[in-house]
Amino acid sequence: MGEAPSVQKEHILCILPFPEPTEILRNIQKKHPQVEFTYILQPITASRAWNTDAKDIPDETFKKATILCTLASLPSDPKLVPNLKFIHFFSAGIDHVRSTPIYKDTVIPLTTSSGIHGPQISEWVIMQMLSFAHKEKLLLQLQKEHKWGKHSEFGQLKDYVGQRLGVLGYGSIGRQTANVCKALGMDVIAYTASPRTTPESKKDTGYIVPRTGDPDGVIPSAWYSGLDKASLHNFLSQDIDVLLIAVPLTDETRHFLGKEEFEILGKKNAFVVNIARGSIVVQDELIAALKKKEGGLRGAALDVTDPEPLNKDSELWDMENVTVTPHVSGMGTMYLERSFEILERNLTLLEQGKKLINVVDRKRGY
């Protein structure tokens, strides 16, 4: 009898801004004994949160790697990683690496952590919606001043039953937000770049946190698509009460929402929530729409701004109808575990010779 074929050794290089999760790595090695890890802690600093420079990593360390796990750090020269089978990013978006040689000049598969952010970001979105509707800013101020507020200040509160959520970008975050908003009694409509006209096309084929999201795409009462202005305006014209911006940042979506789009949303006095990227909106035109007393936006919750950090003199800081948070909606205690779960799943698929999940389409940019 011939010997069984040996499983190829995998050397996984992790360059991450988190302390080494030894228990998680140990569990992966139990399932995949052929795997060995090199873990390099590269702390986030003000100058390198999304800095792709990895010049401080020895060339030999890169050359040994068959899989690279990173938030942003990449070798400057693809020749340094001749053995890479894929790169796993610990972020959902990869707009910060699109100008790198690895992205532009190679066909190395790139996988993302898309799907892990749905629970915590949807909770942030719901928190902002409810806080705005129930005047949480005023309540906190009254408590700080030891004042018992007047009921007349709160009598006109409107709940979300029957209101419409428009999800601009129906990915994992949009699907879980839709899931929760449906439980509030809201109607949901979805927007995607390409048409989703069949049951199969509406399914979520990426990583899904158990018991979350909309795996089969059955929640929206209607779907819209198209990156041209006419298609976008058609979607925005559907009496949207709350717009969730959840599209990836690409050349097509940069400054996707400006004066014209906010005028359409202003007809319904919509509330805008942005958890995607700040430059998807034209920020000055968003501010103008928020300041309009007639036909403007009723408020906004922004976890992302343009630029980041937001300039100290930006009007957004002091606007009563705006909440600004420092790009923290995706943070949570399960972040690392879920991202490594995607890596482990792809290790299994690699061993089986099957297609990886969460693979970036370079032409689309996500």
Taking residue 359's Cβ as centre, other Cβ atoms within 10 Å add up to 14
Residue type, 247: V
The whole-number pLDDT of residue 2 equals: 47
- Signed CA dihedral, 180, 186, 187, 191: sign only: negative
> Exposure string (b/e) for 145-184, b if CB count within 10 Å is 16 or more?
eeeeeeeeeeeeeeebeebbbbbbbbbbbbbbbbbbbbee
Task: For each of the domains in the chain, give its residue range(s) and CATH number, in order of start.
Answer: 10-115+334-352 (3.40.50.720), 118-324 (3.40.50.720)
Q: Is the peptide bond before 119 cis (omega within 30 degrees of 0)?
A: no
pLDDT digits (tens, 9 = 90+) for 190-233: 999 999 999 999 999 999 999 999 999 999 999 999 999 999 99
Work out the mean pLDDT of the chain and round it to a whole number. 94
pLDDT in tens, 244-274: 999 999 999 999 999 999 999 999 999 999 9
Give CA–CA dist 65/62, Å, rounded: 5
In which order are the strands placed within the sheet that holds 110-111?
A: 35-41, 10-16, 67-70, 86-89, 110-111
Share of the chain above pLDDT 70, in %: 96
Distance of CA 230 to the CA centre of its chain: 25
359 phi and psi, to 5 degrees?
-80, 135
Average pLDDT (75-84) is 94
SS3 of residue 78 by DSSP: helix
Torsions phi, psi for 240 (to 5 deg): -80, 125
CA distance 322 to 299: 6
Q: Is the bond preceding residue 75 a cis peptide, omega within 30 degrees?
A: no
Tens digits of residue pLDDT in 333-356: 999 999 999 999 999 999 999 999
Overall size of the chain counted in residues: 366
Predicted TM-score of the model (pTM): 0.91
What 3-state class would DSSP assign to 188? Answer: strand
The region, left, alpha or beta by phi > 0 then psi within -120 to 50, assigned to residue 146 is left
Q: Can you list the pairs that 59-65 forms with residues at least 24 positions away whose Cβ atoms lie under 8 Å?
A: 61/13, 62/13, 64/11, 64/13, 64/38, 65/11, 65/12, 65/13, 65/38
pLDDT at 303: 98
